[in-house]
Structures are given as C-alpha cells and as structure tokens.
Structure 1
Amino acid sequence: MAFPSAPSTLWSVSLLTILFAAAVHSNIFNDDDPLQPMTSDETVSVGGTVILTCRVAESDNSSLQWSNTAQQTLYFGEKRALRDSRIQLHRSTRTELSISIAEVQLSDEGEYTCSIFTMPVRTARATVTVLGVPGKPQISGFENAVPEGGKVTLTCTSTGSKPPAKLHWYRGDQELEGRPDVVDSDPEEPTYNVSSELTLEVSRSDDDALITCAVEHPSLHPGDKRSEQTLRVLYSPNVEILPQSDLPREGEKFYLQCSARGNPEPSSYLWEKKDGELPPLAKVDGAFLRFEMLNKSDNGVYLCQADNGIGNNQGEYTLLVQDPTAMSTSSGVDHAVIGGVVAVIVFIMLCLLIVLGRYLIRHKGTYLTHEAKGSDDAPDADTAIINAEGGHSGAEDKKEYFI
C-alpha cells in the first residue's frame, strides 16, 4: 500500500507513531491499566470481511489509532488516514475504535497495531490470518471404460488453499483410502496446490459407481467443494431365461426370453435344446424363442448363450408342457369337492331345523295338557271350564255368581 496525500496533522500522527515505535516495543504495561488498549486476533477467508476492534477500559480523551502491517495509519479516531475504499469505520467512541476491511486479500495478512497516544504511548497488536480458499477439486485419470478385474488410478487436485487443504475419497457414502496428499507451494502466491491419488481394482459391481473427491478446509463447510466421477466397467453378461407364463399349456402359443445384462449389452444370442434339436415349430427371434403351438414333445431343457464381445454366459430353463384336459379334470374335481361341502352344510342346517321344530311342538303339547287337566274330575261341563281357567275354588265362586 502506498501513502496517499493526507492532511498535515495526520502526517504528524504517523510520524509520531514511528518515533514512539521503539519505546513502545520495550514497554510492558500492567493488565490492570485502564488505558491499555485491548485487541483480538482474527481469521478471515480471501474475499471476506474482517472487523478489527480496539478498546480501553477508561478514556482520558486521548485518541485511538489503527495502523496496518506496514505501520501506515488507517484511522485516527474517526478520521480516515489511508484512502482505501475497502477499509471503513465500523464504530468510534471514547473507549472503542473498530474498523472493517472488506474483500480481504492474502496481502492483508499480518499484525495490525492499535495505539493510544498517552504518555507513554500504549499499543496492542492483532494478528489477522487470511485463509486461501481452495478451488473446486478436479478428477483426472479416467477416460475409457475399464475391463472387469482391471485397475484404474484417479488423481484429484485442488489449488489455492492456505493452509494446505485435505482431500477425501468416497465411493457412494463409503470413504476410501487414497495415497497421502502431495502438497506443492505456489511460486507466485503464498498458497498451496494439493493432490491425491486413488487406485481401484474394479469389478462388475463398480459399473456406474460414483467416485467423489471432497475438499476439507477451515474456510469451507463440509461438502462445499467436491467433484464426482462415474466409473464404467466392461464385463461379460449375466444370463437368465424368463418364461412367458408359469403354466405353459399344450396347444397354446408360448415364448422364452433370454434376459442378459452386461457392459456392453449383448450383441448375439444362441438358442439350443439340451440333448436334442430345437422343435420344428420353435422359432429363434434374437433374445426370444417362440413356440407357435406347444406340444408335449417340446418338453426339455433349453439353453441360451449371450455374447457381448467381452465374454459369454448361458442360462437354462426346463420346459414342462401341461395337459389342458388334465387341468380341466382337476378343475372339475375341485368343483365337486366344493359342491360336496355345500351339500353337507345344507344337510346339517335341515337337521337343525327338524330338531328345533320337534322341540317347539313338544312344548306346545305340554301346555295344552296342563290347560285341560282341570276338566278330568269335573261333574259337568261348566265346572270343567271353570277348573281349566282358574282352579277348583274359583269355580265354586263363579257358580255362586251365576246362581
């Protein structure tokens, strides 16, 4: 930073600062001194803003002053001494002087001095540490797909960090161990370039796997800067034969599908029947074997071999053609069983109705028998009716009433 033009009084202040520098450095002040300025060290990332605060416990109306690493006066009280638009007055009172420095650069790092012009001059220093923000990591070393069982070496590089950044490797959410980071200093800047290598022996499960390189640094939040690389692995196909249905029936159309997954996708399919030739009505259609009309003679083990240029594999399927007549008979038997069960349930319900009816009839007869019991010993019809309705004594009363 160069000295700009400034009022003569401010130049005088700067000269006083220089003149008292040697004396100040040799003075040791008591911590209980109310006029001793107090500061704190600060850490800021490149491009950020830092606030420097200087306080005293008491004031004797002496002015506080902030100076930069080159002992240039920045602010004397509320008066700006250095024309740098990045540096602004944050707060000024009798006991505090705070300034802010925006868009911090690496060159702003160092010791800043707060002075109070008492006799003798008292000072305090604040160290500003500027963090160099690492650049987004770059992954190199992977261009083409790698055959299964082969090795791939990836290199991750991040530049411009201060202090040196740390690099971490991940496959999905699993952290991988790479070689120790290599740190090189930048010849033009007080920053570091960091690189790390990761070597993997790949398998087919690594196809489409996501490899991540993430930067760890005090200036960053976790996950702020990372790069990803998708692996491509070449491997022979896995083969499986899938039937159109689980119950192939005689006389129906039917097909088998050769399902093969590999990288690259299979380019050719070969159908065979184990211990024999393919049936005359079976037609090969790439990954499909189609039967125009199933016959029991089609029973057997069928093989499909898929090839993708990297290798080949085969799957097999045992075909058992079902007799539709047997299936209908079986279905009829099932219906007969169901009908029998329903008949038994109806029979049981009829039996219950008969028993219930007999029970009700028996109780009704008993009631009629008791009702006629009074007429057995009656001398005449009137007496029998009276006895049946209310008993013997009641009959006598009613006879007197009628007389």
Structure 2
Amino acid sequence: MAFPSAPSVLWSVSLLTVLFAAAVHSNIVFDDDPLQPVTSDETVSVGGTVILTCRVAESDNSSLQWSNTAQQTLYFGEKRALRDNRIQLHRSTPTELSITISDVQLSDEGEYTCSIFTMPVRTARATVTVLGVPGKPQISGFENAVQEGGKVTLTCTSTGSKPPAKLRWYRGDQELVGRPDVVESVPDDPTYNVSSELTLVVSRSDDNNLITCAVDHPSLAPGDKRSEQALRVLYSPVVEIQPESDLPREGEKFHLQCIGNGNPEPTSYIWEKKDGELPPLSKADGAYLRFEMLNKSDNGVYLCHADNGIGNGQGEYTLLVQDAAGNSADPTAMSPSSGVDHAVIGGVVAVIVFILLCLLIVLGRYLIRHKGTYLTHEAKGSDDAPDADTAIINAEGGHSGAEDKKEYFI
C-alpha cells in the first residue's frame, strides 16, 4: 500500500485531528457499527510491556490511528509518528492496529485513543493503568535480643507501590496480625510508602524462629517479595547431666558432663553431691565432674547448677557404681517394692525398740523407789533400839515382836 509524502501526512493528520475533535464534541455513538473501533483497558507494571490493540469488524480502507494521553499520534497505520523507540508496531491489517509500549513508566498511565478516519470519525478509548512495583520490605526491631517473657516490636516498610501495597506478617507458616498498615504518599510522585508494626511476647520456643514480612500487591505473584529475620530470645538454661558410660565400674575412670541448654550458653557450673561432700578422688572441671578411680563410696545423687547470667538451672544424676561382675553395690539399686518392705520393717523395729526402752525406764524407776523405802524402814528400826541386840532384832524384822512383847509384860 502506498503512503503520501511527509508534508501530506502532516496535513492529513491535522485534518483528521480536527475531524476527530468535532466527532468527540458531537458525542455521536454508533451502535452495531462495523466500522466502530473496539479496544480494551490494560494494566501493566512499571518496567513491563503493554500491547494496545484496536480492531474494526469491517474495513473501508480507512486507516486506524493510535494517540497517547496527550493526543499525540503514535502510529497512523504502519507509519510511526512519534519518535519514541519504546513504542513499536505489533500488527497492522485493514481491520487491526496493535502497538507495544515497552519499559512502561508511571507517566505512561492514562487514556489512549484509537481512531478511524471515516466520515464521521469513529473513536475508542483504552485506559492504561500502570502499577508501581513495591520495593523489597525491610524489617527493623531485631537489633537487640529479647529476654524470655518480654515484648518485641517489629516494623516492616515497603516503598514505591501503586496502589498502596498490603503487608502481611508470618511466623513460620502461621499468619500473624499486626497493626493496620500506615500509608504515606510520596511528594511529587504517584506512589506510596507503606509500613506495619507487629508486637510479640516471646518465649524460649521463639528463639531462632523466622519472622517474615511479605508484600501483597497486584504487580507481584504471592511470595515474590518478602524479608525474613530470626528472633533472638534470651532464656535461662535447662540442665541435663550425661554420664560417660551407662555402666560405671569400680576402679575405672569416669566423668559426668553438665549440659545447659540456654541462650546464651552457661558460663558457670557448680557441682555438688546431695546429702554429702564430693568424693576426695573427684574433681570439678567446669562442665565436667571427673572421677580418677570409681569406688562404691562414690554412689549417690550428684547435682549440677548452670548459670548463664539470665538465670540458672539444675540437673541431677544418680551414680551407681558396678562391681567387676556388673552388680550394683548400692542398696538404692534394689527394686521399689523391696525398698518399701524394708522401710516398713525398719519402722516396726524402731517402734518396738522405743517401747522396750520406755518399759526399762519405768521399771528402773520403780525398783529404785522401792529399794529406797526398804532401806529407810531398816534404818528407822535400828535407830529406835536401846541396845545393839535389840537393834539387830529390829533390823531382822523383830521390832514389831518386841513391841508386842513389851505390851504383853505391861
């Protein structure tokens, strides 16, 4: 198809523009008109490419034209009218004119017009919506570790979104509810900055848990832009004592290790033996309690106290030293039922011994009292006798006879 020279084209474009303005002013609408152009609205993200398509059902050999938001002609048929390398011809037929705009910017948003220069001029409009792609979210508030039971407030911020993005919080796969998003417009720019806050009460189970802030926006696929940060929680240690061997044998070397699971790691360890002192051949060496040579007397319950500055924890371990045959020498190794029977027997024996002691004490006091009374009566009879013979008789029990005899002579 032949095209007129450049001056003729410019003259034609000017004439068509006048006709187009007249047609717009007249608000003429053609229903079921095969020459009426048809377009569609398009949405594109900043930096993307949009295709604008204009079609008619039939052709009368009139050319189709695309104009931008400022009513500048972009393409007239296959002829490019605006020097912008971002705008390229996509397809041109008697019934269709399609163009592409690449590297779309926010300034490209607006209403584009397709015209067919018939008498009268027929037009159709296509609105191009440009989405401002939000920036990767930034999370703050992780600068300092938080002690167990304390609160931490995190802030997530994303810039450059249009329309305003929505921010979502997650702990693992669980979505959390933060404060409503704060939306701020950017001066001299159609984009928005969005921020959101999340407050958590942390526990030791939250240590090293990932907190995620994700951006929800029409320009992005789910999960396209997110940031993750790990929580740091300080908590007191949980203490466990691990033996070197499950069968500590008499005469062998042996050690216990104190393991404190806390944040930070424990820095202080204290060993002690329950109900007694540490054995003389044992040595406390930080998290270790070492035995140079195990002995049956080492049997007992050992305690370890671990402190990490946040708090302290305690663990315990019962040591039962085995002999060469693998038998425990500690009476606590007996079965629970045997231990209970011995306790009952011991209690009964203790009660019996107590009763016997009480009886012995009562009997002793009784004997002492009666012996004193007997001696007192003997002494009294001797003192009342007038001579030695009578005293002897009175001491032998004849005092009452003498009294009787005396009464008889009278």
What TM-score comes out, normalization by structure 2 length? Answer: 0.76
Find the residue that maps to 2:335 and give its secondary structure.
helix
CA distance in 2 between counterparts of 1:397 and 1:81 reads 171
Q: 1:176 Cα deviation (Å)?
A: 0.9
Alignment CA distance shift 1:8-1:342 (3 Å): farther
Q: Secondary structure at the match of 2:62?
A: coil
Tell whether the 8 Å contact from 1:211 to 1:229 is kept in structure 2 after alignment. Answer: yes
Does the 8 Å contact 1:204/1:233 carry over to 2?
yes
Deviation at 1:326, TM superposition (A): 13
The 1:401–1:231 alpha-carbon spacing in structure 2 relative to 1, beyond 3 Å, is same
Q: Deviations over 1:256-307 (max 9, x none)?
A: 1101111111111000001110000111111111111111111111100001
How far the C-alpha of 1:30 sits from its partner, in A, is: 3.4
Match of 1:349 in 2: 356
Check whether the contact 2:23–2:122 (CA below 8 A) recurs between aligned residues. no
In structure 1, how many angstroms separate the alpha carbons of the residues matched to 2:150 and 2:128? 50
> How many residues end up aligned between the 2 structures?
403
Q: Distance in 1 between matches of 2:184 and 2:120?
A: 47
Deviation beyond 4 Å, 4+ runs, structure 1: 1-8, 323-403
Seen in structure 2, the aligned counterparts of structure 1 residues 372 and 211 have a Cα distance that, compared at 3 Å, is same
Paired residues of 2:146 and 2:232 also in contact (CA < 8 A): yes
In angstroms, what is the RMSD of aligned CA positions? Answer: 22.5
- Describe the SS at the equivalent of 1:10: helix
| Residues 321/76 of structure 1: CA separation in 2 closer, same or farther (3 Å cut) | same
Once structures 1 and 2 are overlaid, which stretch shifts more, 377-386 or 96-105? 377-386
CA distance in 1: counterparts of 2:380 and 2:145, whole angstroms? 111
Secondary structure of the residue aligned to 1:208 is: coil
Structure-2 change in CA distance of 1:380 and 1:206 (3 Å): closer
Q: Residue by residue, what CA displacement relative to the aligned partner does 1:233-273 show, whole Å, maximum 9, x if unpaired?
A: 11111101111122222222211110111111111100000
Q: SS at the partner of 1:30?
A: coil
Contact 1:4 1:83 in 2 (8 A): no
Deviations 1:65-96 (A, max 9, x none): 11111111111111111111111111111111
Quick one: distance in 1 between partners of 2:374 and 2:5?
135
Q: Provide structure 1 residue ranges, at least 5 long, that are not aligned to the other structure.
A: none
Cα shift at 1:24? 2.7
Distance in 1, matches of 2:10 and 2:311, equals 84
- Seen in structure 2, the aligned counterparts of structure 1 residues 351 and 15 have a Cα distance that, compared at 3 Å, is farther
Distance 1:17 1:397, change over 3 A: farther
Residues 150-208 of structure 1: CA deviation (Å, up to 9, x unaligned): 11111000011111111111111111111111111111210111110001111111111
- Post-superposition CA distance 1:202-237 (Å, at most 9, x none): 111111111110101111111111111111111111
Q: Are 1:10 and 1:81, in contact at CA under 8 Å, matched by a contact in 2?
A: no
Contact 2:54 2:97 (8 Å CA) reproduced:
yes
Q: CA deviation at 1:134?
A: 0.3
Q: Structure 1 residues 115 and 250, CA, compared in 2 at 3 Å: closer, same or farther?
A: same
Task: Tell me: CA distance 1:370–1:154, structure 2 relative to 1, closer, same or farther (3 Å).
Answer: closer
Instruction: Report if the CA contact (8 A) 2:135-2:159 is conserved.
Output: yes
Structure 1 match to 2:159: 159
Q: Deviations over 1:76-119 (max 9, x none)?
A: 11111111111111111111111111110111111111010111
State the distance in 1 between where 2:381 and 2:55 align: 126
Aligned to 1:330: 337
SS, match of residue 51 in structure 1: strand
1:381 is aligned, of 382, 388, 392, to: 388
CA distance in 1, matches of 2:391, 2:351: 51
Tell me which moved more, 197-206 or 13-22: 13-22
Secondary structure class of the residue paired with 2:334? helix
Closer/same/farther in 2, CA of residues 364 and 67 from structure 1, 3 Å limit: farther
Could you tell me how far apart the structure 1 residues matched to 2:62 and 2:391 are? Answer: 140
Looking at structure 2, the residues matched to 9 and 380 of structure 1 have their Cα atoms a distance apart, in angstroms, of: 180
Distance in 1 between the 2:348 and 2:387 partners? 61
- Matched position secondary structure for 1:22: helix
Return 142-151 or 120-129, whichever deviates more: 142-151
Cα distance 1:217–1:328, how it changes in 2: closer, same or farther (>3 A)? closer
Contact 2:51 2:100 in 1 (8 A): yes
Give, in angstroms, the shift of residue 325 of structure 1.
18
By how many angstroms is 1:10 displaced?
2.5
* 8 Å Cα contact 1:249/1:324 also seen in 2: no
Q: What is the Cα deviation at residue 12 of structure 1?
A: 3.7
Q: For 1:365 and 1:146, locate their aligned partners in 2 and report how far apart those are by CA, in whole Å.
A: 84
TM-score, length-normalised on structure 1?
0.77
CA positional deviation for 1:148:
1.1
Check the 8 A contact 2:179/2:198 in 1, yes or no. yes
Contact 1:14–1:72 under 8 Å retained in 2 = no
| Aligned-residue offset at 1:142 | 2.0
8 Å contact from structure 1 (residues 300, 319) kept in 2: yes
Which region of structure 1 is more displaced relative to structure 2, 302-311 or 388-397?
Answer: 388-397
Deviation at 1:29, TM superposition (A): 3.1
User: Which range is displaced more, 373-382 or 175-184?
Assistant: 373-382
CA distance in structure 1 between the partners assigned to 2:181 and 2:353 by the alignment: 86
Range with greater deviation from structure 2 (324-333 or 131-140): 324-333
Structure 2: unaligned runs, 5 residues or longer: 323-329
Question: 1:351/1:135 Cα in 2 relative to 1: closer, same or farther (>3 Å)?
Answer: same
Distance 2:296 2:61 in 1: 113
Query: What's the secondary structure of 1:302's corresponding residue?
Result: strand
CA gap 1:373/1:85 in 2 versus in 1, 3 angstroms:
farther
* Equivalent residues of 1:14, 1:73 under 8 A apart: no
Helix, strand or coil: the match of 1:262? strand
